[in-house]
Structure 1
C-alpha cells in the first residue's frame, strides 16, 4: 500500500463537508462535547453559516454547513461514519464519559468490526455516527477481535 499521493495529485489538505439541519446542535456536539477545535467559522457569508473543525496542524478537516432554510438531509446510514482514532482504551473511556455527561449514549454499530475491537459509537444531532476507536490507524496495529 502506498503512503504517498500520486505525482499528478499534489494534495496539501483534505476537507470533508456536509450540510446539517441542526447547525447549532451539531456545533455544540462537535466543538463543546467532543472538543474538536474550531479552525474557522462564519455566519451569514453569502447566506452560509459554517464551521471547520479539525486537529490543529493536520491537513484533515470536517466542515459543517447551513444555508438558508434547513436542508433536506438524507436519512442517516450506519456506514456513514466519522471515525476518531484515539490513543488507547482509556482515551475512549474518557471521551465516552464526557459524552455521557452531556446526555449522549452509545448506539449499536451495524458493523461488528468496531465493537469487536473496543470501539464505541455515538449519534450526532443529525443522526450520523461518530466512532471512537481505541487505536491510531496506521500508527498502531489494529486490535484483534475480542
Structure 2
C-alpha cells in the first residue's frame, strides 16, 4: 500500500489545501492529512477543530485520514509507514523553503520521497494567513474556503452573516 502524508498547519483549511489533498488522494492508496502541532504558534483554531474542519471537507475522499502530530515529520512518517510526503507549492518562494525541508527530511528518512504539487493557478495567491485577515475584517472568503470553514471563521471572529 502506498501511503502519503500531507502535513501542514491548516489554520484554516483553504480551497488550495483541499485541491492538493484531492490530487494527492488520486495518486496514493492512502493519504494522511496531518495537522502539525507547533507550540510556538498561536493558531486561531485548535488542533481538534482543524482536524474536524478537514474531515468534513474531505469526507468525499474515502482514502483520506486526518491526524495530528507533534515533533518531527520524519518520525511521524516512519511510524505510519509513509513512503511520500506531499507539499503544495504556490510560488518560487515556497519552493526554496520546501526544498530545504525536503533535503533535510530525506537525509533523516531516505525511505520517503517528497513530492511537490503546484497549486492550481486560481489558488496560487491563497494562504491561511490571508484568509484569516480577510475574514477578521468581515471580507468575503466564500471563494477561498469550503462553506463550513467560512461559517467557523465568521463564528470565531463574531461576524454575523
TM over 0.5: no
Structure showing the higher strand proportion among its residues: 1
Structure exhibiting the larger radius of gyration computed from Cα positions: 1
Higher helix share: 2
Q: Given the two structures, how large is their TM-score scaled by the length of structure 1?
A: 0.29
Q: TM-score, normalised by structure 2?
A: 0.27
RCO higher in 1 or 2 (8 Å CA, sep ≥ 6)?
Answer: 2
